[in-house]
Amino acid sequence: MPIQWKKFFLTFLFLTNTSIVHSGIKNELAKYQHQGSSCNKNIVKSIPNNVKITAKKQSECIANAEELLQKMKNSKQNSLVIIDTRSKTNFDKFSIKNSIVLPASAIQTKTYWKNKSIYLVNDDVTDLQLTATCSRLKQKGFLHVKVISGGINAWANKQMPLVGKLPNEKNLILLTASDIWNSRKNPSTLYILDRNFRQFQKYFQRALIIENSKLNNPLPQVNNYIKSHKNFKPHKIYFLTNSPSINTSTISNLNKKQIYASFLFNANPTVLNQYITDFNKILIAKKIGPKKPKCN
């Protein structure tokens, strides 16, 4: 393939990828900005806020996959409840052994579970929604509720007992710009950035920059970072890089060795930067409000 055609093809792939990643948030922005173009008084004039989580909520609610595995081995019969809050369609494809499928909103009606050890799992690697659910359940008397950090993806990546057929490994490991941005304040996640992503370090509570040449063996620097921050115990590690030194196979091998789940955002930094720009536009649109329609 001639060089000029190769450049065109790569550019096309990048732009297509970027378009797919940001189509959702752009549609949300467009919908919000134009919802005032009608005279219907029942129009909802707000967009959902991100779920707010604190370090305290994280420490009370988050557990890693190994903790649940030990519970499964050691708990007495009927004392452990594993609840999968995904759709039944996804649950039927693959699930944690002995788990049950149930909407998160229905758990509070099961008052007879209040003294049981309850573990929640879904397919949101950010843990945001379930952490909020866990916090509410604790307030209602469900004192032994935990959320599996990284969700069903982390469990599957670490080759824990499953029922059903797993999807492609890449679908379990790869992160989107939305995943990165929505979890940026997560106190139990360590963000590993290559030099091309160092501009984003300011957004994360815990971030470590590693030279691209050392990304194929990041564990020494990761372990040194954790040792130097004695009060920090990561449940997840997010790698942000577009370097060829690291790929899904690298992450898969890390998942087999470590007690924390690893994931990969493997894209150009401009993809994340564009997502943040669009996100901030939504916040501004929300603050200003939709344009008022001209009604008679």
Q: How confident is the model at residue 27 (pLDDT cuts 50, 70, 90)?
A: low
What integer pLDDT is reported at residue 293 of this predicted model? 57
Number of domains the chain contains: 2
Give dist(CA 31, CA 47) in Å, integer: 10
What integer pLDDT is reported at residue 101 of this predicted model? 97
Q: Give the residue with greater pLDDT, 127 vs 100.
A: 100
Q: How confident is the model at residue 230 (pLDDT cuts 50, 70, 90)?
A: confident
Task: Render pLDDT for 256-266 as a digit per residue (tens, 0 to 9).
Answer: 887 789 999 99
Give dist(CA 37, CA 294) in Å, integer: 8
Indicate whether 188 pLDDT > 90.
no
Least confident of 31-40, 180-189, 208-217, 230-239: 31-40
What integer pLDDT is reported at residue 29 of this predicted model? 54
Is 109 domain-assigned?
A: yes
Q: Are 296 and 174 in a shared domain? A: yes
Highest mean pLDDT of the ranges 32-46, 167-181, 189-203: 189-203
H/E stretch holding 163 reads strand 162-164
Give dist(CA 212, CA 242) in Å, integer: 9
Mean pLDDT score across all residues of the chain: 81
Indicate whether 296 pLDDT > 90.
no
Is 37 domain-assigned?
A: no
Q: Are 147 and 184 in a shared domain? A: no
CA distances from 106 to 103, 112, 131, 193, 216 (A): 5, 13, 16, 39, 44
Is 29 domain-assigned?
A: no
What integer pLDDT is reported at residue 47 of this predicted model? 33
What integer pLDDT is reported at residue 48 of this predicted model? 39
Q: Are 248 and 263 in a shared domain? A: yes
Of 150, 167, 184, the residue at which a domain comes to its end is 167
Is 212 domain-assigned?
A: yes
Q: Give the residue with greater pLDDT, 274 vs 40.
A: 274
Domain housing 242? 169-296
DSSP 259: S
104: nearest Cα among 132, 75, 68: 132
Indicate whether 22 pLDDT > 80.
no
Q: Are 81 and 187 in a shared domain? A: no
Q: Are 116 and 188 in a shared domain? A: no
Of 129, 150, 167, the residue at which a domain comes to its end is 167
197: nearest Cα among 185, 184, 207: 207
- Contact criterion met (CB below 8 Å) for 96 and 82: yes
As a dihedral over the C-alpha atoms of residue 197, residue 201, residue 203, residue 208, rounded to 10 degrees, the angle is 110
